[in-house]
């Protein structure tokens, strides 16, 4: 358990490497501000958060801060640990108090601070790690920040805007905003905005910015995917696909399917309900919102789901982008190859993505498949999607789609 701290109390940190974590019943994000004696960051690089997980001596990993005191720059006086509630409108007073803990690099507990007395706060500075002469110490702060997250970071010198800002310079098109974004917390909107910009960069570079396309997300629900579900990899896939829909789909939403031997058409995934959608529907077993997951099956047969999507396509329709996530094992190779040849006459591009280390067989040969009107499919595999940053992921995910748009237009497939 370590030594219990109360608000305002401090203690020495003898360990050169420490781990700071927060336990909270309510979903919350952890971030850190590295500040000078003046209480401000030197540059935006001293703000550690989800999309910038490292600064000198500090790393955010899976919601936990790893601090190496020896690598913290000499002009940094304090590391302020911040916790922010995910849900818009939620306050800490609605839940049991969060608990901040400090352990050494071996996992031995040093300090614990139950942050009680909170009420209407949704952002709290939990702890400060600070220098005292040549030594490091920890202080229990537990101070709410009434101005909100944007005010907190800007007051510490970080250059961010509370509302999504236009892309500069003015000649660069502005990323698209869709209904529902305003309901997100500031942190979630900031994360979404950064991802939208990465999507927009790919489309701009490929001369496809401003194109509108129906976006369909298909996720493998076979038993071989159990690790991807238990580790919530597929949950994170959904969050990273939402920005694609915001920039392409007319409604900014993802059409969604789960498939195995059969398939289930699920409610569309919207910006404001993405996390709730994932918690509700991303399972391998059980009954969820009236859908019996046992009936979908546990082994894979791609033909039913592919035929259903193809049946919804008509020559001359607006383009469709199918994002198809699977761990492979396509057994009916001849039938699938024939289906993809027939589908090449229709206004859809199929981007297959392999999750995990597997034998993808047919999927690797899609780009070389002959006898198609146009090349209507792409494939790439990701051993670990969490190790691929947003810029790389979207570049691979959307790299071939604009080429297909041009080819399909020239072939008269698109209106």
pLDDT in tens, 255-272: 999 999 999 999 999 999
Q: How many Å apart are CA 245 and CA 253, to the nearest integer?
A: 6
pLDDT tens digits for range 13-25: 988 899 999 999 8
Average pLDDT over residues 394-400: 94
- Check whether domain 181-410 has CATH 3.90.1200.10, yes or no: no
pLDDT tens digits for range 321-364: 999 999 877 778 889 889 999 999 999 999 999 887 766 666 66
**What are the beta bridge partners of residue 220?**
259
Q: For residue 152, name the pLDDT band (cuts at 50, 70, 90).
A: confident
Supply the pTM of this predicted model. 0.61
**Most confident range, picked from 20-24, 155-159, 162-166:** 20-24
Judged by average pLDDT, the poorest of 56-60, 99-103, 385-389 is 385-389
* Under 8 Å between Cβ of 296 and 221: yes
Q: What is the dihedral of CA 66, 67, 72, 75, to 10 degrees?
A: 110
pLDDT at 361: 63
pLDDT at 172: 45
Average pLDDT over residues 36-40: 88
Is it the case that residue 164 has pLDDT exceeding 70? no
* Under 8 Å between Cβ of 362 and 373: no
CATH 2.60.60.30 residue ranges of the chain are 3-155
Is it the case that residue 140 has pLDDT exceeding 90? yes
Q: Helix/strand/coil (H, E, C) string of 147-210?
A: CCHHHHHHHCCCCCCCCCCCCCCCCCCCCCCCCCHHHCCHHHHHHHHHHHHHHHHHHHHCCCCC
Ranges assigned E (strand) in 15-154: 17-23, 28-35, 47-48, 54-55, 58-61, 64-68, 78-85, 99-104, 109-114, 123-132, 135-144
- Check whether domain 3-155 has CATH 2.60.60.30, yes or no: yes
CATH 3.40.50.410 residue ranges of the chain are 181-410
C-alpha 53, offset from chain centre = 13
Residue 245: exposed, middle, or buried by beta-carbon count in 10 A (0-12, 13-18, 19+)? Answer: buried
């Amino acid at each position: 358990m370590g030594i219990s701290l109360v608000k305002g109390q401090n203690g020495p940190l003898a360990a050169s490497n420490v781990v700071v974590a927060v336990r909270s019943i309510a979903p919350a994000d952890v971030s850190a501000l590295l500040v000078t004696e003046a209480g401000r960051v030197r540059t935006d690089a001293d703000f550690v958060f989800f999309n910038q997980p490292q600064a000198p001596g500090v790393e955010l990993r899976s919601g936990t801060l790893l601090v190496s005191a020896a690598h913290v720059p000499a002009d940094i006086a304090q590391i302020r640990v911040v916790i922010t509630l995910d849900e818009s409108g939620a306050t800490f007073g609605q839940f049991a108090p969060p608990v901040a803990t400090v352990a050494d690099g071996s996992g031995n507990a040093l300090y614990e601070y139950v942050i009680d007395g909170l009420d209407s706060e949704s952002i709290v500075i939990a702890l400060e790690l600070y220098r005292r002469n040549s030594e490091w110490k920890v202080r229990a702060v537990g101070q709410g920040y009434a101005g909100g997250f944007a005010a907190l970071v800007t007051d510490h010198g970080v250059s961010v805007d509370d509302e999504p800002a236009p892309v500069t310079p003015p000649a660069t098109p502005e990323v698209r905003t869709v209904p529902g974004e305003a309901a997100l917390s500031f942190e979630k909107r900031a994360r979404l905005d950064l991802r939208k910009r990465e999507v927009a960069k790919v489309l701009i570079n490929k001369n496809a910015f401003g194109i509108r396309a129906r976006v369909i997300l298909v996720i493998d629900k076979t038993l071989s995917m159990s690790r991807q579900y238990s580790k919530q990899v597929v949950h994170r896939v959904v969050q990273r696909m939402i920005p694609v829909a915001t920039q392409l789909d007319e409604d900014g939403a993802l059409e969604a399917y789960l498939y195995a031997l059969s398939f289930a058409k699920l409610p569309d995934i919207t910006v404001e309900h993405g996390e709730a959608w994932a918690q509700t529907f991303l399972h391998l077993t059980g009954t969820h919102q009236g859908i019996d997951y046992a009936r979908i099956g546990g082994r894979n047969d791609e033909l039913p789901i592919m035929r259903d999507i193809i049946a919804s396509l008509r020559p001359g329709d607006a383009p469709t982008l199918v994002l198809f996530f699977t761990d492979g094992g396509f057994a009916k190779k001849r039938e699938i190859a024939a289906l993809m040849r027939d589908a090449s006459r229709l206004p859809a591009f199929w981007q297959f993505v392999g999750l995990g280390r597997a034998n993808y067989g047919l999927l690797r040969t899609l780009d070389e498949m002959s006898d198609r009107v146009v090349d209507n499919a792409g494939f790439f595999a990701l051993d670990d999607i969490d190790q691929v940053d947003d810029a790389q992921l979207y570049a691979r995910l959307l790299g071939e789609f604009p080429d297909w748009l041009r080819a399909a237009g020239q072939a008269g497939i698109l209106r």
